[in-house]
Structure 1
Amino acid sequence: MDTQLLDLMKHRRTIYNLGRNVQIPEPELTEYIKAVIRHTPSAFNSQPVRAVILFNEHHEKLWDIVETALEEKVAPDAFLRTKAKISSFRNAFGSILFFTDMKVVQSYADNEKLATYQYQEYNWSEEAQGNAQFAVWTGLEENGLGVNIQHYDPLINSAVAAEFKLPASWQLRAEMNFGSVEKPAADKDFMDDDQRFKVFQ
């Protein structure tokens, strides 16, 4: 069997130590990310995934928003560690905000032709999110970049929507950082197959 995709999947890891030593031009990265998301599958081809791609001061502003939100929630004696973590995300080359357009999800849930499945539409939109995030992550890794994904929603939702003037129907699902790999990931452990798989032949 061909294993090119599997090899890429094995290489995909969470990289926390990211930098800005990226040789790919921003417009080229932008078009690549858009194309990957465009070709990601979704139930009924509903295409509920939205993305905001941030570079330079816009990327830094995102992490300023996160830092401000967490400063109000984290105890002062623990905030120094939190601030250092946020700074490491700010040091990345760029970030991608992944959203689900709830207007799309609701339109499919309200579709009489799909009445049998109406309660599954949100779950299926989450599948589309996972597909898109995994595809972009793996694609960026293939091009020599490191990636990590964070989840600071809903703490930052209103501030992010206001800062980047986003539609009210866009629900934030994840924040993806990318940049040069300054330190590789550690080894990864896997659970036993007999706890995870069942095969009937």
Structure 2
Amino acid sequence: MAKDFLTSVQERRSYYGISKEAVVSDERIQEIINHAVKYTPSSFNSQSARVVVLLGENHDKLWNITKETLRAIVPADQFAPTEEKMNAFGSGYGTVLFFEDQKVVEGLQEAFAAYADNFPIWSNHSSGMLQFVVWTALENEGFGASLQHYNPIIDEEVKQEWNVPENWKLIAQMPFGKPVAAPGEKEFQPLEDRVKIYK
């Protein structure tokens, strides 16, 4: 039986213990991504979102690139926790890379100069919505995922390795796989401090 929307929202969590075991077919993953990219809203219907999905060896390569990039930055005597984290992400089934096409954003800035300063912000809003849609949809299929931000330190190598257009700006990385460990406990601040309703 399909979950209702709010249950799906509630059950979407950050999973760091993931495996390479297939949960659904690669075709189903592509269907989910295509649907999310097509129907997630964007300001002025700009459709500035771009996505690269890395599976198999390509997924492994991304987290090796990230690990080696960080190895050059993090002191050797402090690198073990970082390496452990990279290996955990690499243990997953795949990674979704989220980009925003800056050519589209800049075109809107030129066409609507009065809103020029807002278009990069709205672009990030759209990307955040897309990330949430993909994350929740993957969870509904039985995957666990988390959202990572190793940009901009990996940007250039990612663009070179996967022939990503120069005008695509990397926003986030989402490793996913079959959950092998439950997410940690989550605490919630009181809603009365966070929501105000006026009637």
Q: TM-score range by the shorter chain?
A: over 0.9
Structural mapping, 1:17-56, within 5 Å = 17-56=17-56
> Which segments of 5 or more consecutive residues in structure 2 lack a partner in the other structure?
none
Structural mapping, 1:80-159, within 5 Å = 80-111=80-111, 114-159=112-157
Q: Which residue identity is paired with 2:95? A: S
In the TM superposition, what is the alpha-carbon distance from 1:67 to its structure 2 partner?
0.6
Report the Cα distance in structure 2 between the residues aligned to 1:119 and 1:70, rounded to whole angstroms: 33
Report the Cα distance in structure 2 between the residues aligned to 1:156 and 1:186, rounded to whole angstroms: 28
Contact 2:23 2:141 in 1 (8 A): no
In the TM superposition, what is the alpha-carbon distance from 1:42 to its structure 2 partner?
0.4
Deviation string, structure 1 residues 71-95 (Cα, Å, up to 9, x no partner): 0110101111111110000000000
Q: Corresponding residue for 2:72?
A: 72
Report the Cα distance in structure 1 between the residues aligned to 2:196 and 2:114, rounded to whole angstroms: 29
Identity of aligned residues (%): 35
Deviation string, structure 1 residues 111-167 (Cα, Å, up to 9, x no partner): 0xx232221100100111011000000000011110111100010000100111111
RMSD: 1.1
Runs of 4+ off more than 6 Å: none
SS of residue paired to 2:52: strand
SS of residue paired to 1:187: coil
SS of residue paired to 2:186: coil
In the TM superposition, what is the alpha-carbon distance from 1:182 to its structure 2 partner?
0.3
Report the Cα distance in structure 1 between the residues aligned to 2:102 and 2:79, rounded to whole angstroms: 33
Q: Corresponding residue for 2:183?
A: 185
In the TM superposition, what is the alpha-carbon distance from 1:186 to its structure 2 partner?
2.0
Report the Cα distance in structure 2 between the residues aligned to 1:102 and 1:23, rounded to whole angstroms: 34
Q: Corresponding residue for 2:171?
A: 173
Q: Which residue identity is paired with 2:162? A: F
Q: Corresponding residue for 1:9?
A: 9
> Which segments of 5 or more consecutive residues in structure 1 lack a partner in the other structure?
none
Report the Cα distance in structure 1 between the residues aligned to 2:59 and 2:75, rounded to whole angstroms: 26
Report the Cα distance in structure 2 between the residues aligned to 1:19 and 1:170, rounded to whole angstroms: 29
Contact 2:23 2:178 in 1 (8 A): no
Report the Cα distance in structure 1 between the residues aligned to 2:40 and 2:17, rounded to whole angstroms: 28
TM-score under structure 2 length normalisation:
0.96
Deviation string, structure 1 residues 151-196 (Cα, Å, up to 9, x no partner): 0001000010011111110110000011101011122111112321
Report the Cα distance in structure 2 between the residues aligned to 1:23 and 1:189, rounded to whole angstroms: 29
Report the Cα distance in structure 2 between the residues aligned to 1:97 and 1:80, rounded to whole angstroms: 25
Paired residues, number:
197
Q: Which residue identity is paired with 1:48? A: S
